[in-house]
Amino acid sequence: MTTGTAIGAPPSIASLLGEGPVSLFLDFDGTLVELAPGPDDIRPRSGMADDLAALSQRLDGRAAIVSGRGLSDIEQHIGPLPIAGAGSHGSDIRSADGNTLGEGAHGLPEAIERELRAFASDNSLDYEHKPHGGALHYRSKPQAGEAAHAFAEQLAHKHGWAAQSGKCVVEIVAKSANKGSAVATFLQVSPFAGSRPFFIGDDLTDEAGFAACAKAGGGGILVGDRTDTCAAYRLPDVSSVHEWLEL
Ligand SMILES: [Mg+2]
């Protein structure tokens, strides 16, 4: 990790493509859509699915959404996903034509889900069921964040799962699942294999994606002004991401 203060905007996609095949991995919340008070409150701009399809076409299919959200959750907001995607922090990976890649899905064991729901209800937090995990949201009650993290950490540890921290959210997902392993899975298969990968994201969970891209000769593009990061580049906000992607 560096302090990240000196990193600047990435070269244009056109100039990156001038050096060879490029793949782009895109976080969703805080990267393609503005963050909102709750997960259902986001307002993706209209036509986003078509724009993503056009971007993927420009990259010969080497574009994927890599999100903490479940893929079906994203589809509820933007319609059928026309490009490759990894949902639930890489627990659910599929190619653009819908085929499953990697190990496939693991649903949260009932014992973990029950305890997460009880904690959320006791502490007036939002519990979000995901196809491959469960999340405690505390954006509406930030003072409960520390207790939520501590609870999720010990619960995950007890059952051999992993707690993932995000902005005002902590979630429990399969231990092997993270955005870096999702990138690595894509890079093993066509059309991603052999390309120079870049990952755009705003959150701590995106750092694993940045690192996986750096290892494969590309790099991370951090959205926002967070400091501790292994990203090579930075874009200030969601609208600058759209501009850079020429969406
Ligand atoms: Mg994000």
Regarding whether 146 and 71 lie in a shared domain, the answer is no
Could you tell me the distance, in angstroms and rounded to a whole number, from the CA of residue 61 to the centre of ligand 1?
22
Would residue 168 count as lying in a domain?
A: yes
**What's residue 105's pLDDT?**
64
Could you tell me the distance, in angstroms and rounded to a whole number, from the CA of residue 119 to the centre of ligand 1?
24
Regarding whether 215 and 162 lie in a shared domain, the answer is no
**What's residue 5's pLDDT?**
56
Regarding whether 139 and 216 lie in a shared domain, the answer is no
Active-site residue (options: 27, 29, 73, 92) = 27
Regarding whether 197 and 89 lie in a shared domain, the answer is yes
Catalytic residue check, 27: yes
Q: Which of 153, 173, 193 is the last residue of a domain?
A: 173
Regarding whether 97 and 23 lie in a shared domain, the answer is yes
Regarding whether 150 and 48 lie in a shared domain, the answer is no
Could you tell me the distance, in angstroms and rounded to a whole number, from the CA of residue 85 to the centre of ligand 1?
14
Would residue 65 count as lying in a domain?
A: yes
Structural domain total, the chain: 2
As a three-state string, the secondary structure of the chain is CECCCCCCCCCCHHHHHCCCCEEEEECCECCCECCCCCHHHCCCCCCHHHHHHHHHHHCCCCEEEECCCCHHHHHHHHCCCCCEEEEHHHCEEECCCCCEECCCCCCCCHHHHHHHHHHHHHCCCEEEEECCEEEEECCCCHHHHHHHHHHHHHHHHHHCCEEEEECCEEEEECCCCCHHHHHHHHHCCCCCCCCEEEEEECCHHHHHHHHHHHHCCCEEEEECCCCCECCCEEECCHHHHHHHHCC
Q: Which of 157, 173, 189 is the last residue of a domain?
A: 173
User: pLDDT tens-digit profile of 167-204?
Assistant: 899 999 888 889 999 999 999 999 999 999 999 999 99
Could you tell me the distance, in angstroms and rounded to a whole number, from the CA of residue 237 to the centre of ligand 1?
11
CATH number at residue 131: 3.30.70.1020
Range of the domain at 231: 13-103+178-245
CATH number at residue 87: 3.40.50.1000
**What's residue 90's pLDDT?**
87
Regarding whether 211 and 91 lie in a shared domain, the answer is yes
Regarding whether 164 and 79 lie in a shared domain, the answer is no
Regarding whether 183 and 169 lie in a shared domain, the answer is no
Regarding whether 184 and 78 lie in a shared domain, the answer is yes
The neighbourhood of ligand 1, an ion, using CB within 5 A, equals 27, 29-30, 202-203
Regarding whether 50 and 77 lie in a shared domain, the answer is yes
Predicted confidence pLDDT, tens digits, the chain (247 residues): 555 457 999 999 999 999 999 999 999 999 999 999 888 899 999 999 999 999 999 999 999 999 988 898 999 999 999 999 999 888 889 999 989 898 766 789 999 999 999 999 999 999 998 878 899 999 989 999 999 999 999 999 999 999 988 889 999 988 888 999 999 999 999 999 999 999 999 999 999 999 999 999 999 999 999 989 999 999 999 999 999 999 9
